[in-house]
């Protein structure tokens, strides 16, 4: 029996780090626990400064060879990784559901296919990446994207593999090497990704995976002078610490942070569509950074909207995420559950009213909650809860709706429900958000820029924007008549 291998839902997972093409153990471990029932899944290698240094050194050593690999060959290997993901979709889905509690049906049908698509998209985009040459007083300007170097990618627990590969795929496509640090609450599919990448022929050291607590390994990764890019998805306080750590080396950062996004419901909308959009915000037990947790509803339709919303929301089935009939699973960790309940109880104590929910369920489940009678300056309206908790406020006209929508420190996303194209154009032009959806939600195309405004982030990734971040852009200017021969 391999002491460093656990079995999760019938799938073998190595619990060690993946550094320089080898499995590396640590002296210490941490316990990975399933949010479904609180059971211990296994002991995971707990990295620290030594493992961080080893992983960055491996990435640095592998960088020249991978950077010099022709684009077509890099793309071929990325497609091979996608092939490996597709062959193991069922295994990846059940392991991630067990590890982070998200719905198995979503992992099977949407999330894991998207993981494979992440690799295919950036492999294909790499082969088309180009900028037309342009002239300056007879001289020729040629723009190129040069690999930047080792990248540290720090990813969250709410969609572990999908969000990790959203960063890993473009970083590798660009010719960089990677040190991936998954969240300690959901580390298992990152380990499986290392296996898949190795089987696909990715050279040793090009992708490294180190596990551990951010407080113990994070600074050693982000302060390393050999790291040339850092991409992080997570909380604002952690982002501040990463930025401080990276500042000494002026390491470029891409930060996708929290949100407190609004859903604006105008009286001219299809009300059933608006209710569907609102109920969708409970997806993944509310653990979605893009979720429109602030429902802003035009006063004249607020009563009817609320009635229909309650009918729909109370029909949702909360339970085991492995059950195909389940709509809402557990929250990730007991600490997260405490945080969610703290927000709700403080709001209720301050005068908010729970239309539905407002309390815990069994285990790590929190009842889907809708709070009304909330003040705009209250904590529950201004701060990210990251749980199945929505607030409802009313407005009387467009100006008030936009004022309420923009009145937070965040600017990640916004959703607008209206039957008027003209109103949609007016309103979206005035909203502060990195992404705005009109009469839809969570439609994502990898060629679009993605990121947030204000405290919701720094920079944009997606399509060419990803390569702009993961590369050093170079402009080569050539004189027309400087050649001694024409051979």
Q: What is the dihedral of CA 69, 73, 75, 79, to 10 degrees?
A: -130
**Per-residue pLDDT for 319 more than 70?**
yes
| % of the chain residues with pLDDT over 90 | 98
Report residue 436 CA to chain centroid gap. 17
Q: pLDDT of 439-470, one tens digit each?
A: 999 999 999 999 999 999 999 999 999 999 99
pLDDT at 351: 97
487 confidence band (pLDDT: 50, 70, 90): low
> Catalytic one among 91, 289, 384, 461?
289
Find the mean pLDDT for residues 384-398. Answer: 98
φ, ψ dihedrals at 451, nearest 5°: 165, -175
482 confidence band (pLDDT: 50, 70, 90): confident
pLDDT at 486: 59
Two tokens at 292?
């429109």
Instruction: Give one word for 93, left, alpha or beta, with left for phi > 0 and alpha for psi -120 to 50.
Output: alpha
Question: At the fourth CATH level, which superfamily is domain 262-438?
Answer: Aldehyde Dehydrogenase; Chain A, domain 2 (3.40.309.10)
> Catalytic one among 96, 184, 256, 298?
256
- Residues forming a β-bridge with 134: 141
| Distance between CA atoms of residues 233 and 163, nearest Å | 8
> Whole-number mean pLDDT of the chain?
97
The yes-or-no answer on residue 398 being catalytic is: no
Locate the DSSP E strands across 361-427.
369-372, 389-395, 410-411, 413-417
Note the helical H segments in 184-230.
Answer: 188-199, 214-222
Q: What is the dihedral of CA 173, 123, 97, 318, to 10 degrees?
A: 120
Instruction: Give one word for 405, left, alpha or beta, with left for phi > 0 and alpha for psi -120 to 50.
Output: alpha
The yes-or-no answer on residue 289 being catalytic is: yes
Report residue 293 CA to chain centroid gap. 17
Nearest residue to 169 via CA among 129, 125, 130, 234 = 125
Domains 5-257+456-475 and 262-438 share a fold: no
Element (H, E) at 178: strand 178-181
Q: pLDDT of 110-155, one tens digit each?
A: 999 999 999 999 999 999 999 999 999 999 999 999 999 999 999 9
Domain ranges of the chain: 5-257+456-475, 262-438
Q: Which CATH architecture has domain 5-257+456-475?
A: 3-Layer(aba) Sandwich (3.40)
Report residue 33 CA to chain centroid gap. 21
* Alpha-carbon separation of residue 465 from 75, 175, 257, 462 (angstroms): 18, 15, 17, 5
């Amino acid at each position: 029996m391999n002491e460093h291998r656990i079995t999760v839902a019938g799938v073998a997972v190595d619990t060690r780090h993946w550094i320089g093409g080898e499995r590396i153990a640590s002296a210490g471990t941490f316990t990975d626990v399933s949010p479904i029932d609180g059971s211990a899944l296994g002991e995971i290698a707990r990295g620290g400064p030594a493992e961080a240094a080893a992983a960055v050194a491996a990435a640095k050593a592998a960088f020249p060879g991978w950077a010099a690999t022709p684009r077509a060959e890099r793309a071929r290997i990325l497609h091979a990784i996608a092939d490996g993901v597709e062959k193991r979709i069922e295994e990846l889905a059940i392991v991630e559901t067990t590890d982070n509690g998200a719905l198995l049906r979503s992992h099977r049908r949407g999330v894991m296919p998207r993981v494979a698509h992440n690799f295919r998209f950036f492999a294909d985009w790499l082969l088309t990446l180009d900028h037309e040459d342009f002239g300056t007083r007879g001289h020729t300007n040629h723009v190129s994207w040069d690999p930047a170097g080792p990248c540290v990618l720090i990813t969250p627990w709410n969609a572990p593999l999908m969000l990790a590969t959203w960063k890993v795929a473009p970083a590798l496509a660009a010719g960089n090497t990677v040190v991936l640090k998954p969240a300690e609450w959901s580390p298992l599919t990152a380990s499986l990704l290392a296996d898949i990448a190795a089987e696909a022929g990715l050279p040793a050291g090009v992708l490294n995976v180190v596990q551990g607590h951010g407080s113990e390994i994070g600074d050693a990764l982000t302060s390393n002078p050999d790291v040339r890019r850092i991409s992080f998805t997570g909380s604002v306080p952690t982002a501040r610490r990463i930025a401080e750590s990276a500042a000494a080396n002026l390491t470029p950062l891409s930060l996708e942070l929290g949100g407190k996004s609004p859903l604006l419901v105008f009286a001219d909308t299809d009300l059933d569509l608006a209710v569907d959009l609102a109920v969708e915000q409970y997806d993944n037990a509310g653990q979605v950074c893009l979720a429109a947790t602030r429902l802003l509803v035009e006063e004249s339709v607020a009563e009817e909207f609320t009635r229909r919303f309650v009918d729909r929301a109370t029909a949702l089935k909360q339970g085991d995420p492995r059950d195909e009939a389940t709509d809402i699973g557990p929250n990730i960790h007991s600490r997260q559950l405490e945080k969610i309940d703290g927000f709700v109880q403080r709001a209720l104590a301050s005068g908010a009213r729970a239309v539905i929910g407002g309390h815990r369920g069994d285990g790590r489940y929190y009842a889907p909650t809708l709070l009304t009678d909330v003040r705009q300056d209250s904590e529950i309206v201004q701060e990210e809860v990251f749980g199945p908790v929505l607030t409802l406020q009313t407005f009387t006209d467009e100006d008030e709706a936009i004022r309420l929508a923009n009145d937070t420190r965040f600017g990640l996303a916004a959703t607008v429900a209206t039957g008027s194209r003209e109103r949609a154009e007016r309103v979206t032009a005035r909203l502060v958000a990195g992404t705005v959806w009109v009469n839809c939600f969570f439609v994502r195309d990898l060629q679009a820029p993605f990121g947030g405004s204000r405290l919701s982030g720094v920079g944009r990734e997606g399509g060419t924007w990803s390569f702009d971040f993961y590369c050093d852009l170079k402009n080569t200017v050539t004189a027309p008549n400087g050649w001694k021969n024409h051979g």
